[in-house]
Every structure is written in C-alpha cells, then in structure tokens.
Amino acid sequence: MIPAMFVARAEILSLVALAAAERQSIPELLNQAAVTLGPLARRSARRLAHRLESGMPIGQALWRQGYISPFEARRVDGGVDARRRLQRLAEDAARADTGLLLVRWFPVWVMVALLVPGWILFNLIEWLSDRAIYETYKVLGIAANSLLDTALAAWWLQVLTLGGCIAAVALGMVILREIAVIRHLTHLWCPEVHRAYFALRLIRALGPGEDQSYELPWYRAALAALFIGIHRPQKPRWAADWAAWFFLTRFRLPAGEQRMLGPLHSLSLRLSAMGLLGSERNAPLMAEEQARERLSFAIREARPLLIAVLAVLSLISLTMTAASTLVHVTSHIVGGF
C-alpha cells in the first residue's frame, strides 16, 4: 500500500490552492478533476473531497491525507491568509527540491555511496561467475575479512548489514541533532544551507501563539533533565532553531548587538532586529518568500560539490570491490605482503 503522501501530492495541493484562490468549492473541483488523475491519485482526491464534504477543515483534511504537517495544518486552519499559504504549499510541492534532503542527511548518503555500488557490483560478479570469488577463497583457503564474509553470506544478512550501517549513521545524526553544542557538528559540511534553512524555519514559526512554551516529548524532556538537550521546558518551540541559526550567524554581528537580542522574548521582535522581517503588513509572507529563495540558492550552490564527492565515493567503492579481492588473492599467493 503506497502512502497517500507520495501520490500526486503536488497535483492535489495545486487543485486545492486553485479552488481556494478562485473561491470555488474545493470538494467539487477535486471530484471534477479526479477523472483526469491516475487511479491512486483519483482515489486520494476523492477521499480528500469526502473528508471536506463531511465538514473537516481543509488543513486538517490535508494533514489526515499526509500531504502537510500538523504544524502547517494548524496554520492553514487558523491563519488569516489561508489562501496564500495553500498557494505556497502547492508551489513547494511542485518544486519537490530534494537538495535539502541531500544536504541535511549527507553523511547517510556518504555511507550509501560507499556501500551500495560496491555491494551491487560484488553480487553481480558472484552471480555472473557462479560464485567464483567464494570458490576461489574456499580453494585457496583464504580467511575472508568481516565485510567479505558478509558479502558472501545470505542475501538477507547482506541487506541487514548494509541497512544496519546506513541506519546507524542516520540514528547517530538524529541523536547528535538533539544534543546541545555537539549538534553544530552536523551543520559543518554546508553551513550556508543550514543557515538559510534555520532562517526559513524561524520565519515559518511566526504566527499566533508563537512565543508560548510547549510540552516536550519524553525523550526531549529526558535530555533537558540531563542539561544536554537542545529543547528546554518553558521555552517556545522556535528556541532550538534560533540557537542553531544564531550560532551559524556568529562573527557577523558585533558582540553588543548579540547581547542586546538576549532579553527580547518575542520571535518577531528578534527577527525584526536581525533584519529578517520588515515592517509591512504582509512582512512574514514576503520574508518567507525571500528566505525560501535564499535556501534554494544555497542548495543550488552546495549541490555540485556534494554530488561530486558522492560520485567519487561510489567510484572508490566500485574500484575497491574489484581491486580488494584481486589484491587479497595475489597477496595470499605471494605469501602475504
């Protein structure tokens, strides 16, 4: 079963935004347009229309379908500029920029690039040569190292090992990101992108009740009790993002100004003081658009280097797979280097 969030998200969000902008009935437009969509998307559009017809608010219905986050849903349902927000959500979905995923989880991609191409090549050689490497090792009586042992093992053990390694890196990153000070290590490979990302998150956090504290989930409360968590009780939700963004803007502001921002408890005041938020009526939306543009520019700038590194690592993975067995066999024949 494919989750609804992966099915025609951009199309359905565009339809909703269009109907909202044209002040048409959203369920009606969804039902009309459903015939032009694919079978899964059609079902998804009809389910959304049904939810709306039963009186569910639009934000909540989109969240239930898995198209937007609960935070966005609250803002769509509670905000005064719901149409503009829906339009922005549709634009974001249509852009489908995967660059942020690449930057934020770069160490995971590094592991994938190092392990997966070599693993595929190794299995391909084994399959095409009828397990020639395994047989050579057996005939020569070579003790394989741990990774080779895994590569020669059953497929499920191979997948488990590979998946385990990649998941370990991802888990490590999740844990690191929750720990104060150390979390900044996870921004080092692309500080520019992270700065733009946290600025965008801060601007998106603007809204009614933005400065209220919230109840921490158990793991964050536990980390906070140990004084190592990035989230603290009695602090607003944006405080952690502010800390990350402020760290990434270090050495850009004089010390006096940095100290001056401390006593300001309102996010909008802080953002205005930092020059991210103007004084116009629609300042948050304009600031959000600018921040989004800055983020996509930063991602565009960072992507070539990251892709090149991943490509080099994939090549190294392929070469090492082919060469390591050859060197291993040669060194065994010669009697060990």
Partner 1 sequence: MLSRIFIFAGIALGVVIALQASWAIARMCIHAVLGNQCARWLEPLADALRREQPADLALLGARASVRWPYSWRLQRCVRRLNGAQPEALVPALLACRLLPASCADIARAAAAQGPTCLARLFAGIAERERQRPQSLRSALAPYAGTVITLLILATFIGVAIIPKFLMILKDLGMPDRYHISLLGHSPSAWSGILLAASPIGLGIAALFGSVLVRFIWRLRRRRLLADAVLGGLREEWPDQRLAELIGQARPRVAAAAASCGAHGDFKGLCRLAGWRATDPAHLARRISHYDARQARIRSILHASVRVVMPILIGIPVGIFVYMLHGTLINMLLAIAKDIE
Interface ranges with partner 1 (CB under 8 A): 106-107, 110-111, 114-115, 145-148, 161, 165, 169, 188-192, 195-196, 199, 249, 251-254, 274-276, 293-294, 297, 300-309, 312-313, 316, 326, 330, 333-334, 337
CA distances from 138 to 120, 134, 142, 157, 221 (A): 22, 6, 7, 20, 54
Contact present, 203 and 277 (Cβ < 8 Å): yes
Collapsing DSSP to helix, strand or coil, 229 comes out as strand
**Which is nearer to partner 1, 63 or 106 (by Cβ)?**
106
CB of 58 to partner 1, least distance (A): 33
Measuring CA to CA, how many Å separate 199 from each of 46, 217, 244, 299, 335?
37, 24, 9, 14, 60
Q: Among residues 268, 249, 270, which one has the least CA distance to residue 260?
A: 270
Residue whose CB is less far from partner 1, 227 or 251: 251
Tell me how far, at minimum, the Cβ of 55 lies from partner 1, in Å: 43
Q: Which of 32, 249 has the CB closer to partner 1?
A: 249
Measured between alpha carbons, how far is 332 from 334 in angstroms, rounded to an integer?
A: 5
Query: What is the rounded CA–CA span in Å between residue 12 and residue 34?
Result: 9
Give me the sign of the Cα torsion angle 216, 218, 222, 223: negative
State the minimum distance, in angstroms, from the CB of residue 103 to partner 1.
10
Bridge partners of 179, per DSSP, are 229
Residue 146: CB minimum distance to partner 1, A: 5
**Residue 32 Cβ, how far from partner 1 at the closest point, in Å?**
38
Q: In whole angstroms, what is the distance from residue 29 CA to residue 49 CA?
A: 9
Closest contact distance (angstroms) between CB of 197 and partner 1 is: 13
Nearest of 170, 165, 137, 167 to residue 152 by alpha carbon: 137
Q: Which is nearer to partner 1, 67 or 119 (CB)?
A: 119
Q: CB-wise, 220 or 294, nearer to partner 1? A: 294
Element (H, E) at 12: helix 9-21
The whole-angstrom separation of Cα 230 and Cα 228 is 7
Q: How far is the CB of 333 from partner 1 (least distance, A)?
A: 6
Choose between 18 and 147: whose C-beta lies nearer to partner 1: 147
- Of 146 and 212, nearer to partner 1 (C-beta) is 146
